[in-house]
Amino acid sequence: MTPPTTSSAPSSLVPLAFGDLQGCRQPFQQLLAKAAPPAGTPLWFAGDLINRGAESLATLRDVIALGERAVPVLGNHDLHLLSVSAGIRTSKKGDTIDDILAAPDAADLIEWVRHRPLAHFDNGMLMVHAGVLPQWDATLTLELADELQRALRAPSWKETLAGLYGNAPNRWKPGLKGIERLRVTCSALTRMRFCTADGTMDFSSSGTLASAPPGCVPWFEVPSRKTADVTVVFGHWAALGLLLRDNLIGLDSGCVWGEKLSAVRLAQNPAERTLTQVDCDSCGVPRGGN
Ligand SMILES: [Mn+2]
């Protein structure tokens, strides 16, 4: 059998995927050293590289310095950084993005963030920050993510970004157009945790499975979810903790809340996936939502 060709440089090395760094630079460096991936290994990041942790600027610089090896997707905190920089939102209590905004090269840093993708697919693995709606297969997910990332790279990106906030519409329809289509896409890819069986998103809980809103399940538990045939890699849900199933890898194990930072080697064969973790004692702030 001929293996499928991919466009992903630099090699056929198995990627190493990291959970939400959220500005936790020391744990990131410790985990990278501990996992010790072979030179050139692609390093995937499930989004929220920055914010809430102690060293947002230094963490962002570390990831940028990895060059093409770094494969991040955008999370809600990354988009928040863009929004604050653009004057669309104000900084919130607990934010730790001021060092980025005050950096002499802030404009370049913001440009780098703004040009990151919202979904990444390679070798049967689909990575997003938060989740995918049950009606979306991997192909549609990538198409919708591409629509959104192109809008965020366009000259009118600030207008687009300003229009992405809000909980409605909270359900996908193929006929959705314009900013509502982009908003549903953004909500699912960067914010969703719970939804109903028909894919109606509910943003009222960021807690554990026991805190599911009435009638809701975690997005990945919806029966007949159309991405069940690929392995979905995601972050965002610290209260869920690390989740390792054959076709599902939830990587946010709450580093910024003083728990752990996780990295998983994304082997095709689930039995060959390896987990590496480090403790995160002093990076973040007291638990209070994410
Ligand atoms: Mn998040």
Q: Is 29 exposed, middle or buried (0-12, 13-18, 19+ CB in 10 A)?
A: middle
236: CATH:
3.60.21.10
Ligand 1 centroid distance, CA of 256 (Å): 11
Enter the pTM of the model: 0.94
- Percentage of residues in the chain with pLDDT exceeding 70? 94
Average pLDDT over residues 49-78: 98
Residue 102 lies in a domain: yes
User: So what's the pLDDT on residue 5?
Assistant: 47
Residue 288 lies in a domain: no
The order of strands in the sheet holding 194-195 is: 201-202, 194-195, 217-218
Ligand 1 centroid distance, CA of 5 (Å): 32
User: So what's the pLDDT on residue 12?
Assistant: 81
User: So what's the pLDDT on residue 9?
Assistant: 45
Which residues constitute the domain of residue 177?
16-283
Asked if 96 contacts 81 with a C-beta cutoff of 8 angstroms, the reply is no
Residue 129 lies in a domain: yes
Q: Is the pLDDT assigned to residue 253 strictly greater than 70? A: yes
pLDDT band for position 285 (cuts 50, 70, 90): low
Buried b vs exposed e over 61-90: b needs ≥16 C-beta within 10 Å?
bbbeeeeebbbbbbbbbbbbbbbbbeebbe
User: So what's the pLDDT on residue 251?
Assistant: 98
- The total number of structural domains that make up the chain: 1
Average pLDDT over residues 85-98: 96
| 70 phi, psi to nearest 5 deg | -80, 125
Residue 141 lies in a domain: yes
Residue 232 lies in a domain: yes
Distance CA(125)–CA(93), nearest Å, equals 35
User: So what's the pLDDT on residue 72?
Assistant: 98
- Percentage of residues in the chain with pLDDT exceeding 90? 92
pLDDT band for position 11 (cuts 50, 70, 90): low
Ligand 1 centroid distance, CA of 148 (Å): 17
Ranking 6-20, 119-133, 140-154, 265-279 by mean pLDDT, the lowest is 6-20
Residue 1 lies in a domain: no
Ligand 1 centroid distance, CA of 121 (Å): 19
Q: Is the pLDDT assigned to residue 7 strictly greater than 60? A: no
Ligand 1 centroid distance, CA of 69 (Å): 22
Distance CA(264)–CA(244), nearest Å, equals 9
Ligand 1 centroid distance, CA of 23 (Å): 12
Average pLDDT score over the chain: 94
pLDDT band for position 6 (cuts 50, 70, 90): very low
Residue 276 lies in a domain: yes
Task: Write the pLDDT tens digit of every residue in 152-178.
Answer: 999 999 999 999 999 999 999 999 999
Q: Is the pLDDT assigned to residue 30 strictly greater than 70? A: yes
Residue 238 lies in a domain: yes
Q: Per the structure block, which two tokens stand in for 128?
A: 């997003």
pLDDT band for position 284 (cuts 50, 70, 90): low
Distance CA(183)–CA(254), nearest Å, equals 26
Average pLDDT over residues 15-39: 97
Buried b vs exposed e over 185-214: b needs ≥16 C-beta within 10 Å?
bbbbbbbbbbbbeebebbeeebbeeeebee
